[in-house]
Structure 1
Amino acid sequence: MRQLIRTQYRLTDKGPLRALSLILSLLLAGCLFWDPSRYAAQSSNMAVWQGFLGIWAVCTGVIHGVGFRPRQIRWQALFLPLPALLILLVGIYWFYS
């Protein structure tokens, strides 16, 4: 499992992917600030867990995008950039659709 996590983290540790990660996370955070009612559990069709997943993806995208490299395997597993990138793309698509 450790080798799989390290391999996946190493494959996404490229400059263009870091820039994409930072841009997408800042864009989704901007969408959240622009219209927070779309993300609120009481006034939208989003569940609470989806909001937490979006916040995790934004945090992971910023951590990955600024160039921070976690050394310990547990932090690399928690902040894997590939699932965060997918969630960021889905979140931005959901906001603009």
Structure 2
Amino acid sequence: MRKAIRMLYDLMEKGPLRALSLLLALLTAGCVLWDPTRLANQAGQLPAVQGLILIWAVCSGVIHGVGFRPERTRWQALFTPLPALLVLFIALGRFFL
């Protein structure tokens, strides 16, 4: 398991992916601050689980985007950039579409 996590993290250690990760994280955070109601559900509020996932994705995107690499495998597993990028793409798609 440890080897797979490290291999996945090493796969994402490319400069263009880091720039994309940082750009998506900052853009998503900006969109949420600009108009949070666009990401809310029909009742007009963002459910708690979605909010936590969005915060995690923005944090993971910034951590990966600025070039910080966690040393321990558990932190690499927690802040894996690939699922964070997927969440950021979905959030931005939901915001703009």
**What interval of TM-score do these two structures reach, taking the shorter chain for normalisation?**
over 0.9
Aligned to 1:67, what secondary structure does the other structure show?
coil
Paired residue for 2:56? 56
2: distance between equivalents of 1:40 and 1:83?
Answer: 21
- Which residues in structure 2 correspond to 1:44-83 (within 5 Å)? 44=45, 46-83=46-83
Matched with 1:24 is 24
Aligned to 1:43: 44
Offset at 1:48? 1.6
- Give the CA RMSD over aligned residues: 1.4
- 1:39·1:51 contact (CA, 8 Å) conserved in 2? no
Unaligned runs of 5+ in 1: none
Query: Which whole-Å deviations, capped at 9, do the CAs of 1:18-55 have from their partners, x for residues lacking one?
Result: 000000000000001101233457624x4221111011
In the superposition, the TM-score normalised over structure 2's length comes to 0.92
TM-score scaled by structure 1?
Answer: 0.92
Task: Confirm or deny: 8 A CA contact 2:39 2:95 kept in the other structure.
Answer: no
Aligned equivalents of 1:34, 1:92: Cα separation in 2: 13
Task: Give ranges in structure 2 of 5+ residues lacking alignment.
Answer: none
Give the number of aligned pairs.
Answer: 96
Residue 44 of structure 2 aligns with an amino acid whose one-letter code is S
